[in-house]
Chain A
């Protein structure tokens, strides 16, 4: 019951953020050179004059700014993000069609980054100042500085072109019409490289954070107590230190959610992964600004949702937090 109240409270807190995104979008539309209607129509010149007139009426573009904003807000509240002439489809439908591949890519990358990052951080912290620590630090320093899209291109050169182990791009093999597990395996083969390219930066981030927090926790009194009552080193690490060291990782995961979506745009573009990122790239190429604005709006809302989930995970992990 209290959890439900807490969820309700957190949802209320999300309202100003969503409103802020709408205000920002509205501001950006008016920042663009020229008439707002041409921005909303996608600035492709593909819209008919009738549609432009209809847009002007719908968004109240002949009215004062405050009325325009009210119109815009109402449309956004109904998830009416406009129509993309270039793609001949409503913007919202276009985005929701592409949501699933992006979610699959992000979740896979996130799980890889989290699992390997925690593991490597633990190895580095338990072997502090040994060669293992040095190697892991070096790898994370390099991973920190590597642009994800370039890493993806290099992986294509090595693993797809030279070694021919993995497919270069796409979601599944075109024309293969696999079904069941064969299709799952096919998608998984296509997913490996984009997921790794997207994950590497966050892997390094979590490894560094994990190492730092494990070392910090290892000096705490409760660890000494656990050792004093005869707990084995392994139990001290898994049962006591790890539990506490995971909390900052969960917080960091929430903070990085927005960056993960941003990173998936370039990575998807490199691998032709048919998600929101490729959609954004195509929108950029055809200067379909309204589609881009829609993508920004939906992904920002997605980040708000992810942060809500992270908060819930946090309160269930840490019994000290009163909700």
Chain B
């Protein structure tokens, strides 16, 4: 793990990604200081182009776009990370059971995984949020439910590969129970791979969230980038800035996560380096 971190530090693109992520975290922390009050609050005249008092302009209702972008960062990160954690939990359980118990369990669970990989994930996410009603929690659930297959396949592969190794057989021979082998020996050994693949999932989750809230499936009471863009769409002709800046924020965030994630992948998964 330590050798991996020093490999990460030598990767300039990965460091750039990490630096961008740090800026994003600062934005999240400093948003309430820089823009006190509710981001939904009316701050000035509607549809003002970017100038000194409103560096990113104001939207159709006179809300400060800069405040909207700053507060949207928190929503994107919370949903991105929450959905990824959910997907990891789901993927580890299903992939772990398949890889540990093999046989029929494996066949059934991996068929299920393939099934979820085949069906159009984004449409399923739309359906789940539409049925459960739009809220942050339901967005997290929906995104997690469509993103777990990648983790499940990874964990199953690792469990199958590790299952035949001497240290695992030795544990079983010494009488260790299934739970002990899984939690003390198998899972810690594929943790670095899970972290690497999971870090990239955060970016995908943020993109799905942006798409959902653009379609009007975001939490109406929480500021998010997709929400601002969908509201600004109607005045695209006269006020380009409303749609432009939240989109740049999405782009930079996902780019930063992908750069840092690629760096983690290379550092922690030497075998995947060429992919």
Contacts and interface: CB of A to CB of B under 8 A. Distances in A.
Interface of A: 16-17, 20-21, 24, 28, 31-33, 39, 141-142, 144-147, 149-150, 153-154, 156-157, 161, 212, 215-216, 255, 258-259, 261-263, 265-266, 269-270, 280-281, 284-285, 287, 289, 292-293, 295-296, 299-300, 303-304, 307
Interface of B: 111, 115, 117-124, 126-128, 130-133, 203, 207, 210-211, 214-217, 229, 233, 236-237, 240, 243-244, 247, 250-255, 258-259, 274-275
A197 B132 CA distance: 30
Nearest to A285: B216
Given A146-B254, A215-B274, A269-B215, 12 more contacts: A33-B133, A142-B255, A147-B214, A147-B247, A149-B210, A149-B211, A150-B229, A212-B274, A255-B117, A265-B215, A284-B217, A296-B123
Contact of B203 (A17, A145, A300): A145
Nearest to B217: A284
Contacts of B117: 255, 258
A293 B131 CA distance: 10
A289 B133 CA distance: 12
B118 A304 contact: yes
A277 B255 CA distance: 26
A18 to B, nearest CB: 10
Contact of B211 (A161, A215, A258, A266): A266
A282 B117 CA distance: 26
Nearest to B244: A154
B250 A157 contact: no
B120 A259 contact: yes
B251 A299 contact: no
14 contacts: A141-B258, A147-B214, A149-B229, A150-B243, A153-B236, A154-B243, A157-B240, A258-B118, A262-B121, A265-B122, A284-B216, A296-B123, A300-B119, A307-B118
B236 A32 contact: no
Contact of B118 (A17, A31, A153, A263): A17
B236 A147 contact: no
A139 to B, nearest CB: 12
Contacts of B127: 28, 289, 292-293, 296
Given A149-B229, A153-B236, A21 B210 contact: no
Contact of B251 (A31, A142, A270, A304): A142
